[in-house]
Structure 1
Amino acid sequence: MKDQFIGGFLVFLGACSFGVLSSIVKTAYHAGYTLGEVTGVQCFFGMLMLWGLHLIFRTRHKTKDSVSNNTPKTKKWKLCIVGIFPGLVGICYYQCVQLVPASIAIILLMQYLWISVIIDFVVFKNRPSKLQLLAVIVIIAGSCLAAGIFNNEIRLNLKGCAFGFLAALMYTLFISTSSKIGNELPKLEKSALMITGACIITFLIFPPLFFFKLNISDQIYQLGLLLALLGTVIPPFLFSVGIPKIGISLSAILSAAELPVAVMSSYFYLKESVYGIQWLGVIIILFAIALPNLKHIKKSI
């Protein structure tokens, strides 16, 4: 019971960590920094941190790693290619954050929940259950409320919404590919290889010339370090420790904490307007996330 509590708490903290990213990005934009600078600095710092942690961990556990050298390992370049997807998630999502309120941007990103069901059926031929289909319908309905489609006081930027859906699609592709590739590698090495791929695609789209223009004391480096910690390093580590203790079903529910945390952060920190109908939409989405997992949780109790 103690392990389950600790595992659940770690997953919850990881989700909360993800939830504050959009508010930090908004802060960077308000300070005058660009999309390329924000994504580039986050990826660069994240890559340095993960490789540093991997090298430290490998040095301390060298004897354990040598035992599994005979097992076939995924080509490292494949994981770098998979890293293209989280790189594009960051670019599309942060562009969305620039054009729409942070509370709406996170809702658009959460559409990966139903997009993943469609891709799982079309690509992997896994037919969704009736409960999953019901959850998809509820998520779409809740998203319409949460995004304020029926509220005349909210003006949605169509370009921003398009980038939000692109981010959701890229996130779905990332989940689908990363869950099937490189699982035999140490978690830190796998994460470091993927963030390297994300860094490469980010620098190809936004050449990092800003490194030569900015002063080391610029605020973007402080914000980038924070984004790397809260978005690239801490959540994957907490999830890798917590999820095995409580299982995927309960983890899916607890990780949904990202949504209300992002909305509350935008409301209290950024002072963005969040209407009652949007809060209702958030509650409906959280219910839809929990719905397909309830029967699995009852079995484990």
Structure 2
Amino acid sequence: METTKKQFWYGVLIGILGVVLFSSKAVMVKLAYGYHVDAISILLLRMLFSFPIYVGIAIAYRNKNTEATLVKKDYLWLCFFGVVGYYLASYFDFVGLKYIKASLERIILFLYPTIVLILNRVFLKRPITKIQAMAIALTYLGVVITFWDEVTLSGTETFIGAAFVLLSAITYATYLVGSGWLIPKFGVVQFTAYAMMVSCICVFVHYSLVSEVDLFSFSWQVYVLGFVIAMFATVIPSFLVSTSIKMISSSNFAIVAGIGPISTIILAAIFLNEILTGLQWFGALVVIAGILIVSLKKGK
């Protein structure tokens, strides 16, 4: 049945809420760093609070997708994509936020659709249209404008932070490209829950091996921020975004997703007193325009 106008706008509102909540993650991580906590510790708290939710989801949906025949290799690939797409991507992102503004992080992370196109071209031989190629060039020009202006303001540590966030975008794009054939076998909800569980276990092991910080030594604000990041910047928006895409289509959601960097910039200005220069605002808008062109062409 064709989606009614009322349902469509309801889907748009759900998508906006999901995007804004996702965008708040970087701001809350930066707030947590103000309480002298390291990247792996705040990532651990995020996973500890979200792990039971995903376990519950995995149990609830364990018999939902009975048509596909799953073999051992499918589960091995799922573990691999859980490591790459959620553990490594999250860890690189959290480390990068130690060095750069939350608003700049979101602009760089927003590059992942262009990286998906490039990976599809290199490994799957899928063509890139001239319009997409121009949009990719436009997007990276916007990043260079924003990034270079930030280097002059904040110094060379910006390179370190940007490199880690770019690694996050690359690993997440790799997950999107590689897991496409596997998701239908498990089902979207089940696959996401399993992959997140793998990611959580990786973080638990990482923390136990490298961290000498006592898990119970943080201030109460850190635990609150860890819980809020887990619930309101991870679990809830993941389902809001999935629902929105189902209601309005992925190509329409691509337009909604364009508010992500803008909402991060606004939230960072309110809670972190981060102010972008006029040149950085221009670069950010160029990036958003390029990504929208890429996403809409891909959606078609």
TM class by shorter chain equals 0.7 to 0.9
Question: Which residue pairs with 1:2 in the alignment?
Answer: 6
**Which whole-Å CA distance do the structure 2 matches of 1:211 and 1:50 have between them?**
26
Deviation at 1:203, TM superposition (A): 2.7
**Which whole-Å CA distance do the structure 2 matches of 1:70 and 1:116 have between them?**
29
Q: For 1:69, give the aligned amino acid.
A: T
**Which whole-Å CA distance do the structure 2 matches of 1:249 and 1:123 have between them?**
24
Q: For 1:195, give the aligned amino acid.
A: M
Question: Which residue pairs with 1:161 in the alignment?
Answer: 162
Deviation at 1:114, TM superposition (A): 2.2
What SS does structure 2 have at the residue aligned with 1:242? Answer: helix
The yes-or-no answer on 1:176 pairing with 2:180 is no
Q: 1:229 is matched with which residue: 222, 228, 231?
A: 231
Deviation larger for 17-26 or 172-181: 172-181
**Which whole-Å CA distance do the structure 2 matches of 1:119 and 1:166 have between them?**
14
The yes-or-no answer on 1:252 pairing with 2:249 is no
Deviation at 1:130, TM superposition (A): 0.8
1:118-176 Cα offsets, whole Å, 9 max, x none, are: 11100110010111101101101111222243873342422212112111111111211
**Which whole-Å CA distance do the structure 1 matches of 2:36 and 2:214 have between them?**
17
Change (3 A) 1:167 1:213: closer
Question: Which residue pairs with 2:91 in the alignment?
Answer: 91
1:172-229 Cα offsets, whole Å, 9 max, x none, are: 1121123321323343322221111212222333227679541697332221111111
**Which whole-Å CA distance do the structure 2 matches of 1:107 and 1:167 have between them?**
12
Change (3 A) 1:17 1:289: same
After superposition, where does 1:186-225 map in structure 2 within 5 Å?
Answer: 186-207=187-208, 213-214=215-216, 218-225=220-227
Percent sequence identity over aligned pairs: 23
**Which whole-Å CA distance do the structure 2 matches of 1:295 and 1:169 have between them?**
20
**Which whole-Å CA distance do the structure 2 matches of 1:37 and 1:165 have between them?**
21
Change (3 A) 1:254 1:156: farther
What SS does structure 1 have at the residue aligned with 2:153? Answer: coil
What SS does structure 2 have at the residue aligned with 1:98? Answer: coil
The answer to whether the 8 Å contact 1:14/1:255 transfers is no
What SS does structure 2 have at the residue aligned with 1:274? Answer: coil
Question: Which residue pairs with 2:144 in the alignment?
Answer: 144
**Which whole-Å CA distance do the structure 2 matches of 1:210 and 1:203 have between them?**
13
Deviation larger for 86-95 or 195-204: 195-204
Question: Which residue pairs with 1:280 in the alignment?
Answer: 282
Question: Which residue pairs with 1:82 in the alignment?
Answer: 81
After superposition, where does 1:33-72 map in structure 2 within 5 Å?
Answer: 33-55=37-59, 57-58=60-61, 65=64, 68-72=65-69
Give the structure-1-normalised TM-score: 0.87
Question: Which residue pairs with 1:17 in the alignment?
Answer: 21
Q: For 1:281, give the aligned amino acid.
A: G
Change (3 A) 1:98 1:275: same
Give the structure-2-normalised TM-score: 0.87
Change (3 A) 1:254 1:94: same
What SS does structure 2 have at the residue aligned with 1:180? Answer: coil
Root mean square deviation, CA, Å: 2.6
Q: For 2:33, give the aligned amino acid.
A: Y
Change (3 A) 1:249 1:156: farther
Deviation at 1:2, TM superposition (A): 1.6
Change (3 A) 1:87 1:104: same
